[in-house]
Amino acid sequence: MTGTSNRSFPKAGLAFVGPALATGVAYIDPGNVATNLTGGARFGYALIWVIVFANIGAWLVQYLSAKLAIASGKSMAELLGSAIKKRWLRLLYWLQAEAMILATELAEIVGGAIALHLLFGLNPIFGAVIVGAAAFLILSLARQEKVGIFIAVVVGLMAVTIIGFVSSLFTSQIDAAALALGLVPQISERDELFLALGILGATIMPHAIYVHSALTAERFGKAKDDEKRRLLKWTRLDVSVAMGIAGIANIGILLVGAVTVAGDVEEVTIDSAVAHISEFHGQIFGTMFAIGLLASSLASSAVGGYAGASVMSGLTNLKVSARVRRLISIVPSVLILALVPDSTAVLVISQIALAFGLPLALGPLVWLTGQSKLMGKYVNRLRTKLLAGLLLAILVGLNAWSLLPIA
């Protein structure tokens, strides 16, 4: 579906709700699980403010991504492909974007392999192949005539993910005072800063920017001008619901780490977290957490594959077989699982890498949505430009700060 001309406003709006929810699965993927569990286990409630800040920033980023597609009728990758005139520069930008997407897919496939090992005792290498193949089947729905089904499947998996991740909290005792204190920004040591960056990288993800604009352009790229303002209103609702759900889920995962895993900080792994959940809350809750991890892996891996295809097509005009793309993402995951004993640490490191790559996706988004020739009357207002610029400056500043010693 690419327009809403034959639909009433309420039906058009309800039909539009979904791209942000589908993209939102990127905000509760295995990378989020690893960083939030580790953050909670090592620093208790202290990093809750990072999740809140990241979700507020993600709301603005995802809204701008969808607005860009509604106003221009094209995805961000397509627009950058036209805007970057020099071929070598376009290819360089594409390479870094693909590197960020591969880092994302690495985390998702490794996370799924861990989940299959926890649930069925499967060899993680075999599990990685299964996750990659299953995600490919889900991704096969992401053709124009089936994109609605693709979104529905991803959103359904997202629901399973959330239930699995937060279920054990119903039998946990949360320290309300410590939770409130965790809303106050504080960074006291380098490891805490790196985990904060990991949470930011796992929440405001570069590939989510490309995915949201691509899904929106796919469904509503041909919307008429009089429909665009109404679609933007529904987009704000869609993004608000998605970010609200993701924020609650991520805080829930951090609380699981703070309440259940805290004290076992020598080696914080997803495996040990599930063992702790099973021990203190019951086997059923540990199993539900592992199921949530598997669902998040499948959904986010499919979304990551969609991002890769969109970026490659938009920036290079090349189209590589989905099977080849799956192979490219599975091979590094298998090597990591075979060579690195601590898979959770790999997930955390991949999210920190995403934090460093984020400005290279956010910067062009802010620039494109500030172009009046492209956006017309939907160009960013001064207030939006200032907020987006401030977010970009904070991210760059935190990245730079992480490279300096903390007294």
Q: pLDDT digit string (tens) for 141-185? A: 766 556 677 777 877 888 888 888 888 888 788 899 999 999 999
**What's the mean pLDDT in 35-40?**
90
pLDDT of amino acid 146: 64
**Which single residue is written with the structure tokens 């960083």?**
35
Would 5 be classed as within a structural domain?
no
Q: Which residues contact 159 (CB under 8 A, 6 or more apart)?
A: none
What beta strand segments (E) does 305-404 contain? none
pLDDT, residue 308, reads 86
Tell me if 110 sits within 8 A of 346, measured CB to CB: yes
In a domain, 241, yes or no: yes
Is 302 within a domain? yes
The share of the chain scoring above pLDDT 70, in percent, equals 91
* Residue 357 and residue 100 in contact, taking contact as beta carbons nearer than 8 Å: yes
Residue 402: pLDDT above 80?
Answer: no
In a domain, 106, yes or no: yes
The answer as to whether 2 is a domain residue is no
Residue 125 has pLDDT above 80, yes or no: yes
Distance in angstroms (rounded) separating the CA atoms of residues 29 and 207: 13
CATH of the domain at 148: 1.20.1740.10
Q: Which of 334, 127, 350, 104 is nearest to 208 (CA)?
A: 104
Q: What is the pLDDT of residue 406?
A: 52
- The mean predicted confidence, pLDDT, of the chain is 85
Decide if pLDDT at 8 tops 70.
no
Check residue 10 and give its pLDDT.
Answer: 45
Where is pLDDT greater, at 328 or 277? 277
pLDDT at 70 over 80: yes
- Give me the count of residues in the chain: 407
Q: What's the domain range around 97?
A: 18-402
> Residue 3, by phi and psi: left (phi above 0), alpha (psi -120 to 50) or beta?
beta
Contact 333, 182 (CB under 8 A): no
CA 250 to chain centre: 11
Which comes out higher in pLDDT, residue 64 or 328?
64
Instruction: Report phi then psi at 189, rounded to 5.
Output: -150, 165
Which pair of structure tokens corresponds to residue 255?
A: 């609380």
Does 12 fall in a domain? no
- pLDDT, one tens digit per residue, over 277-325 is 888 888 998 899 899 999 888 888 888 888 888 899 899 988 777 667 7
Any domain includes 202: yes
**Total domain count, the chain:** 1
Quick check: 302 and 131 in contact, CB under 8 A? no
Residue 9 binned pLDDT confidence (cut-offs 50, 70, 90): very low
State the average pLDDT over residues 89-99.
93
Which has the closest alpha carbon to 346: 356, 359, 357, 332?
A: 332
Mean pLDDT for 89-118 is 90
- Asked if the structure places residue 330 within a domain, the reply is yes
Cα–Cα distance between 197 and 203 in angstroms, integer? 10
Which residue in the block uniquely carries the two structure tokens 């760059």? 396
The tens digit of pLDDT for each residue in 243-258 reads 998 999 999 999 998 9
Strands annotated E in 75-234: none
- Give residue 5's pLDDT: 42
What pTM does this model have?
Answer: 0.87
